[in-house]
Structure 1
Amino acid sequence: MISYLRFRFELHKLEKASQKLHQEFKATEESYQGQNDNGHLSFLGQDLQELDRWIEYRKSDFYRGEANKYLIPMPEKSEQGVYTSFDFGDENGAVTYLTSKGIYSLRKLIREEKKSKREAIGFYFTIFTGLIGSIIGLVSVLAK
């Protein structure tokens, strides 16, 4: 639960930064109005694209952690359209992360695993509740 809240908080911060960059891009685009921007707009556009890719990478990283937690295998890298690569220009080089299609398929598997765990817990909880009720009934009958 804490990892999910941490993920949502980080995603919120990244989305906020993305909105701010979008607004800056629009304001800069309107200020040039057809004049030569000397590459300023393409620089902002590249920053915006890099931030969007970083958001997708963070989502992919979170779901990779969830899959590891529930012992779910990651989709095969040979599957078409499940992974994509991007170089953020840091010392790590190009990183591979899940596309929307890959995240969707992984989320589906995670949901199924969580559901099966909930059902197992519910099964044992009902048995335990029934046993407690039987014991209470037996004690009340024997106490008379």
Structure 2
Amino acid sequence: MKKRSTIFAASWRELKALVRASVEVLTERCKDVRVDLEDRTQILKLSAELNRMRRRASNTPTGSSDPRYDFGADQWREIDVAEQWMAVLQTNRLRRQAVRLRIPFPADEELFRRMEWDDDEDESEYLTEQGFQVARERIRAECQYRRTVAAFWLSVVTGLIGALIGLVSVLGR
């Protein structure tokens, strides 16, 4: 009788350790999802602000002396900085996806630019259009590969279940 209780206790400890590890993984994944959602909302807000600024710039009549239509170099600089900041957020989001999928993130210097801050000494790097294209292609290829593998195993399992059901129905008669 003592042997059963020690086996049960050992399996109970293993189960608790497995549950703890699963909870830690889920907690980490929830943090990633939360950060991803925060970045998405920042990107959407920034995109809306950029659209408003661009509309204002495109509606500016040339040669107008009205101060409401004065769109100078400072405003264009704000648009440029906002576009760079949006690229930094999108780069960080793609980098997290690449890490999660365990694929290499583009590291070529020609695929990156540096953010030009006046007041920050460690300037953020962001992907160029070509860099975004390379990163997205790699992520899409990995996701497609994983879907293909999952579909293969799903069809194998479905076939086996169908064969077992057929075997049981034949043997059951």
TM, length-normalised to structure 2: 0.68
Distance 1:66 1:47, change over 3 A: same
Question: Match of 2:64?
Answer: 33
Alignment-mate amino acid for residue 25 of structure 1: A
Partner of 2:51: 19
Distance 1:7 1:127 in 2: 39
CA, structure 1 residues 130+2, in 2 after alignment: closer, same or farther (shift >3 Å)?
farther
CA 1:132 to 1:3, structure 2 compared with 1: closer, same or farther past 3 Å?
farther
Q: Which amino acid aligns with 1:105?
A: V
In the alignment, structure 1 residue 50 sits paired with structure 2 residue 50: no
Runs of 5+ consecutive residues of structure 1 not aligned to the other structure: none
Cα RMSD of the aligned pairs, angstroms, is: 2.8
Instruction: Please give the alpha-carbon distance, in whole angstroms, between the structure 2 residues aligned to 1:3 and 1:127.
Output: 37
1:76 positional shift: 2.1
Q: Is the 8 A contact 2:106 2:131 kept in 1?
A: yes
SS in 1 for 2:150: helix
Structure-2 change in CA distance of 1:72 and 1:90 (3 Å)? farther
Which residue among 81, 98, 105 is the counterpart of 1:67? Answer: 98
Structure 2 residues not aligned, in runs of 5+: 1-32
- Could you say if the C-alpha distance between residues 136 and 3 of structure 1 is closer, same or farther in structure 2, counting changes exceeding 3 Å? farther
Native 8 Å contact 1:83 1:98 kept in 2:
yes
Larger Rg: 2
Count of aligned pairs: 139
- Separation of aligned partners in 2, 1:62 and 1:125: 30
Q: 1:109 aligns with which of 113, 134, 138?
A: 138
- Greater helix content: 2
Greater RCO (CA < 8 Å, at least 6 residues apart): 1
